[in-house]
Amino acid sequence: MPPLILVVDDEPKIARLTRDYLEKSGYRVVTAADGLTTVAIAHRDKPDLIILDLMLPDMDGREVCIRLRRESDVPIIMLTALSEEIDQVTGLEIGADDYITKPFSMRQLVARVRALLRRTSGEIRTTRIIRAGGLEINPEKHTTNLNGVPIKLTPNEFKLLYLLADRAGQIFTREQLLVELHGTASSTDRSVDSHIKNLRKKLEIVSGEPMIETIYGVGYRLIELNL
């Protein structure tokens, strides 16, 4: 059965166009125009991915995202008409997996949906389990444990950690990580920075010490000694 996508937008024209384009691309689609309905549908229908507008009439997309993240790791693409970088970064920091700024092309949206669903389904080039020190990453089960403690990661955080851990000590540039996540790299896309920030915080809560190092002006690496 094709993946089910929940499209959330209070602008009927955008919601209709998005639904029609996604259905023509082979997806099943349900729609919502406000936050409360979104949360209810997410509970009831368990969509495979949510496209979530930031500006909604009853509660904004940030609050909806926070509520969903309390109990679900469903992939979320946030739509925003705001071009300020802080709004995009905030969305990623509270749990969104990706963002697209309005106006956007439907072709771009479908490409992002496909890429995110591939990552969610565990599409990593290998199913090899990584075990190093207290870290265990299982790509088949999509689970991560550190010192025996389960760590809940979004699809993008999981993909990044797997890449970094598979070559611990190696520096990855932001552009390399963007290509791994989205298939392309943009100099204005700061999503990797936000995902790394969230990932670093989750790991340090369990480990009690830094595990991801920022190499300023170059990129990021997982600290080899901590593994």
Digit-coded pLDDT (tens) for 123-177:
444 567 888 778 999 988 889 999 999 999 888 888 889 888 888 888 888 888 8
Closest residue by Cα to residue 27 from 1, 54, 59:
1
Kindly list the structural domains of the chain, giving each domain's residue range(s) and its CATH number in brackets, ordered by start: 4-120 (3.40.50.2300), 130-226 (1.10.10.10)
Mapped onto helix, strand or coil, the DSSP state of residue 179 is helix
The 3 state secondary structure assigned to 161-186 is HHHHHHCCCCCEEHHHHHHHHHCCCC
Digit-coded pLDDT (tens) for 191-221:
788 889 889 999 999 998 889 999 888 889 8
- State the residue for tokens 């936000």: 194
